[in-house]
Amino acid sequence: MTTPGSIVVVGGSLAGATAAATLRDEGFDGRVVLLGAEPLPPYERPGLSKEVLRGEQPIEEHFVRPPEWYADHEVELRTGTRAVQLDPAAREVVLAGGKRLGYDRLIVATGCRNRTLQAPGASLPGIFELRTAEDSAAIRSAAAAGARVVCVGMGFIGAEVAASLRMLGCGVTVVEVFETTLYRILGPDIGRVLEGIHRDHGVTMVFNDTVASYEGDGRVEAVVTSAGRRIECDAVVVGIGTEPSVELMAGTGLDQGGGIPVGPTLETEVPGVFAVGDVARHDHPVFGPIRVEHFDNAVKMGAVAARNALGGSEVFADPHWFWSDQYDHQIQMAGFAPTWDRMVVRGSLGGRSFCAFLLDESGVVRGTVSLDWPRDVRRSFGLISAQAVPDRAALADPETDLRTLVTAGEG
């Protein structure tokens, strides 16, 4: 592979900025252009539902790199610039407004957009979603102490926003379609532990129900649910999931609802084009084709794609890891386990301090979830990568170092 002359990164995101930085770290001295649709330089999003939302830290503290870093490293950061179309034959991206930008290698890090709820009244002022720093600031401005806020959806974003709003002194009511918090990802047993924590912090929770309509005269004043509840409120935050932003790939066949498909090395079927982060549906050596929306994944994929764009052939095989901070609790999860056959727990669910291992029908550890028990999640990486079948009693025993079970499981 010849050395590329210019590399364009689409997405002024954590994954995109990490890719650009890695290109320079690797000594690439060609042209690097980083296109960001938002007005700000790339920033980390986790704080938007926590420290930034609560006003404890300004967004500047969450910038991936200081603003001057880009010029200092000859990375052409173009904020407020959206790439709208890929022209693979010409090896160009078309920008909003029609200008074209040529590339030798392209790294797509366009991320996700939020799913929206189509309900009468959904365009009323006072109804928010959360993805950008601007969204976070808007929610903050509506979340004065004493304000009554309805959080629609109790996945990770909903749960973190609910926690932050309670910490700000807002009244919080949750409307969640499933039977408990975080049900889809963590299942009912762990979900109920988190439900208990939110209840203890004064969150009112409505499960197995959805929004039928919003009411208000010029501004949202109430949420009406399918079951007929009417919840008066001053603001609503909707967090009901995401869909990948794949429009750039229109015409290539890769603009798929499940994300842009990439092979093990993060390269797409379009020559010279890679996809990373939330938008990439990656053929993972252990988990198969999956798309995840984790901070750590964005960082690591960005780095690997950059090295591979420079001629490397590194297979991305990270076991995946993320965290969620709610009140003074921390959840961590590793692996990928949309379903599981059996859960083995060390520690105590009821005691709200545990590490749970999610096993498939063959006893293979597919995922690990902890609450205020962080060390073992990171120590389980080896088990997950090796698809180990460890002894269940050893898993449940807090005294057993998980790292010693990797070879035992393989035997």
Query: Least distance (Å) from another protein to the CB of residue 378?
Result: 6
- To which H or E segment does residue 321 belong? strand 321-326
Determine if 65 is a binding residue for another protein (CB under 8 A): yes
Please choose, out of 31-39, 296-304, 337-345, 385-393, the segment that lies near another protein by the rule CB under 8 A. Answer: 296-304
Distance CA 355, CA 377 (A): 7
| Main-chain dihedrals φ then ψ at residue 179, nearest 5 degrees | -85, -10
Number of residues in contact with another protein under rule CB under 8 A: 17
Q: What residue has token string 């170092």?
A: 401
Distance CA 274, CA 40 (A): 24
Distance CA 276, CA 306 (A): 10
Query: Least distance (Å) from another protein to the CB of residue 210?
Result: 34
Determine if 91 is a binding residue for another protein (CB under 8 A): no
Query: Least distance (Å) from another protein to the CB of residue 69?
Result: 9
Determine if 296 is a binding residue for another protein (CB under 8 A): yes
Determine if 18 is a binding residue for another protein (CB under 8 A): yes
Determine if 378 is a binding residue for another protein (CB under 8 A): yes
Contacts (Cβ under 8 Å, ≥6 apart) of 347: 353, 354, 355, 373, 398
Determine if 207 is a binding residue for another protein (CB under 8 A): no
Cβ(59)–Cβ(32) below 8 Å: no
Please choose, out of 198-206, 219-227, 251-259, 371-379, the segment that lies near another protein by the rule CB under 8 A. Answer: 371-379
Please choose, out of 140-148, 163-171, 336-344, 374-382, the segment that lies near another protein by the rule CB under 8 A. Answer: 374-382
| Main-chain dihedrals φ then ψ at residue 206, nearest 5 degrees | -115, 115
Residues in the chain: 411
Distance CA 104, CA 2 (A): 10
Determine if 188 is a binding residue for another protein (CB under 8 A): no
Closer residue to another protein (CB): 240 or 276: 276
Q: What residue has token string 């550890």?
A: 365
| Residue from 208, 375, 398, 404 binding another protein (CB under 8 A) | 375
Q: Where do contacts with another protein occur on this chain (CB under 8 A)?
A: 14, 18, 21, 44, 64-65, 295-296, 299, 303, 321, 323, 330, 374-375, 378-379
